[in-house]
Amino acid sequence: QVQLVESGGGLVKPGRSLRLSCAASGFTFSDYYMSWIRQAPGKGLEWVSYITSSGSTMYYADSVKGRFTISRDNAKNSLYLQMNSLRAEDTAVYYCARGRGYSYGPLGYWGQGTLVTVSS
């Protein structure tokens, strides 16, 4: 069955960096677009970024553009989110999710999330 397991979250000071990982299994990882979505405590979902199946193209929300970088390693069935210049407002649970083989496909599978807390 499809499994997505995020890791790498934790407590980090403002201005520092953190790298999240998402280990995928149960499907052909290289066939699917992958996304990161976050949810601040007590708030709604916010789309963060997605990457094409080949890893050649990435899109970002304005709120993270220039600070976050999404990437993937299809040989390792893994998705990453490099987060630099972190701010308090980046505090959230970060979910990785599987799309389809095209950009407008729905997010049919989600991981359980990893909590990132940005605080001094």
Partner 1 sequence: QSALTQPASVSGSPGQSITISCTGTSSDVGGYDYVHWYQQHPGKAPKLIIYDVRHRPSGVSNRFSGSKSGNTASLTISGLQAEDEADYYCSSYTRSSTWVFGGGTKLTV
- Say if residues 5 and 13 touch (Cβ distance below 8 Å): no
What phi and psi, each to the nearest 5 degrees, are found at residue 49? -170, 155
Half-sphere exposure of 34 toward its Cβ, with a 13 Å CA cutoff?
Answer: 31
Q: Does 113 bind partner 1 (CB under 8 A)?
A: yes
- Find the largest Cα–Cα distance for the chain: 40
Stretch that binds partner 1, among 8-16, 21-29, 74-82, 104-112 (CB under 8 A): 104-112
Q: In the bound complex, what is the minimum distance in angstroms from residue 59's beta carbon to partner 1?
A: 5
Indicate the residue among 13 and 66 with the shorter CB distance to partner 1. 66
Residues binding partner 1 (CB under 8 A)? 35, 37, 44-47, 50, 59-63, 95, 103-108, 110-113
